[in-house]
């Protein structure tokens, strides 16, 4: 193991449970830490808290008051989604107690090679593609994925050995709480403006993202989207060996697309129309994955096999069903405007769009060019409904309907749509006004489509 003793005999408070909090608490105890878990949810329906109590953990539920931490603690491990304005987190910082997140703990334990992926959009797709490609690498016995993709890193690294690779999706929330994290390969897929309610401004958001490469050296690799000047300039902040990829320019070294053909280091890999998942953005996702796969000697044949058979990540432009002359797609993971723009550009057919969700204070005028001439019908709900409507009217979307929730939105979208339309859930907003997670939102969409199918037959 790398530095298994780092947290041995340290007094650590784990703030927030869910999957990652539960997993990291168990790992810390295995590492010999003195662990206290704090979760604001009451004990009655808190299954994770009950399970930890049964295992002998000290668990405090129903509160996260600042009095629960004092200067006897060595670390606070924060659930990534908890804001730094949380009073317990603020108190820890006042006491100069390091506030870290699960990836920092998991990295310290693991001997496996780590490939880490971040970016505003496409993280899950790129992470999945890399993991599938590295299954074919002669350099690894096993290939795993973990992280923001929905599987705690703390669980996966306990079974991964030095002969394995763990491909880890890392959000800005996770990366901000890292100190020594140093992946052998880091991937920056893109950066747009989002999560500014959490990070306060774009500069802070980018700074958090760049934690992915801050400890890398020239012996490591930083795979960077070369499409914009901003992203190219970010590469200057890294000490790693830079590996660029692009779909808008030819590169002497790196992966690029030209005339509907993908090349890597000058060698033809495949045609872009062999990629199974729709959309120009998925060419970029493929280029990022290919960049990593070729580092680890994955053959062109295996790369093509993965990209020609992979049908997409759940909740990310996920094909759901076809009936009544309509194709239904679930893009619940589109929690920001940029992700919805990507989804809208992925389709050539007219779209009936379902959008809306948590109001983070941003507007939606960036959607206007993508809505124009593309979206025939719009069904909106949630806190942002009126803001989305205002932007859609500027885009001359002729048919707009406002409903109360997603349950009403699906049949209404079907009712308003024309034969041949794509019916697309791509909210352009977080789910937390009506759902706990974007996964829950996407699952309900799938369920409502299934219900609708039964009714229209």
d(CA 234, CA 33): 37
pLDDT of residue 457: 67
For the chain, which residues score pLDDT lower than 70? 1-5, 457
CATH topology of domain 318-456: 3.90.190
Packing angle of the helix pair 281-295, 123-134 (nearest 10 deg)? 40
- Which helix (H) or strand (E) segment holds residue 231: the answer is helix 229-234
Contact 226, 232 (CB under 8 A): yes
pLDDT of residue 5: 44
How far is 345 from 375, CA to CA, in rounded Å? 11
Domain boundaries, the chain: 10-100, 103-309, 318-456
- Paired with 423 in beta bridges are 328, 352
Structure tokens at 416: 């308003």
Asked whether this chain's domains 103-309 and 318-456 adopt the same fold, the reply is no
pLDDT digits (tens, 9 = 90+) for 46-103: 999 999 999 999 999 999 899 999 999 999 999 998 999 999 999 999 999 999 999 9
Residues annotated as binding site for ATP?
Answer: 119-125
Q: How far apart are CA 187 and CA 176, in angstroms?
A: 16
* Annotated binding-site ranges: 119-125
- So what's the architecture of 10-100 in CATH? 3-Layer(aba) Sandwich (3.40)
Q: Please give the DSSP secondary-structure letter assigned to residue 73.
A: -
Could you please state the CATH topology (level 3) that the domain comprising 103-309 is classified under. 3.40.1190
């Amino acid at each position: 193991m790398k530095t298994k003793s780092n947290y041995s005999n340290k007094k650590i408070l784990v703030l927030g449970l869910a999957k990652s909090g539960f997993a990291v608490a168990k790992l810390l105890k295995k590492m010999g830490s003195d662990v206290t878990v704090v979760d604001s949810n009451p004990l009655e329906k808190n299954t994770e808290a009950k399970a930890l109590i049964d295992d002998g953990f000290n668990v405090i539920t129903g509160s996260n008051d600042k009095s629960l931490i004092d200067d006897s603690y060595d670390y606070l491990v924060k659930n990534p989604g908890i804001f730094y304005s949380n009073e317990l987190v603020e108190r820890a910082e006042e006491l100069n107690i390091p506030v870290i997140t699960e990836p920092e703990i998991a990295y310290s334990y693991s001997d496996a090679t780590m490939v880490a992926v971040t970016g505003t959009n496409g993280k899950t797709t790129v992470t999945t593609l890399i993991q599938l490609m590295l299954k074919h690498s002669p350099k690894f016995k096993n290939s795993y994925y973990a992280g923001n993709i929905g599987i705690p890193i703390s669980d996966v690294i306990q079974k991964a050995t030095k002969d394995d690779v763990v491909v880890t999706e890392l959000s800005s929330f996770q990366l901000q709480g890292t100190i020594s994290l140093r992946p052998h390969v880091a991937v920056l897929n893109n950066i747009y403006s989002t999560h500014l309610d959490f990070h306060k401004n774009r500069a802070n958001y980018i700074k958090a993202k760049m934690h992915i490469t801050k400890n890398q050296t020239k012996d490591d690799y930083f795979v960077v989207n070369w499409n914009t000047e901003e992203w190219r300039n970010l590469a200057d902040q890294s000490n790693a060996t830079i590996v660029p990829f692009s779909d808008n320019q030819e590169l002497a070294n790196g992966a690029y697309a030209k005339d509907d053909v993908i090349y890597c280091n000058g060698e033809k890999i495949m045609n872009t129309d062999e990629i199974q998942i729709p959309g120009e953005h998925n060419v970029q996702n493929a280029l990022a994955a290919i960049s990593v796969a070729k580092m680890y000697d994955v053959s062109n044949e295996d790369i093509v096999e993965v990209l020609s058979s992979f049908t997409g990540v759940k909740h990310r432009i996920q094909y759901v069903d076809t009936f009544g002359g309509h194709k239904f797609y679930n893009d619940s993971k589109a929690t920001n405007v940029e992700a919805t723009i990507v989804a809208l550009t992925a389709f050539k057919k007219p779209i009936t769009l379902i959008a809306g969700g948590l109001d983070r204070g941003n507007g939606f005028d960036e959607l206007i060019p993508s809505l124009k001439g593309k979206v025939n019908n719009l069904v909106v709900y949630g806190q942002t409904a009126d803001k989305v409507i205002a932007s859609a009217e500027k885009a001359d979307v002729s048919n707009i309907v406002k409903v109360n929730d997603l349950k009403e939105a699906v049949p209404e979208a079907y009712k308003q749509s024309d034969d041949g339309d794509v019916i697309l859930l791509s909210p352009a907003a977080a789910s937390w006004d009506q759902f706990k997670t974007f996964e829950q939102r996407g699952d309900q969409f799938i369920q409502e489509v299934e219900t609708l199918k039964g009714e229209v037959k």
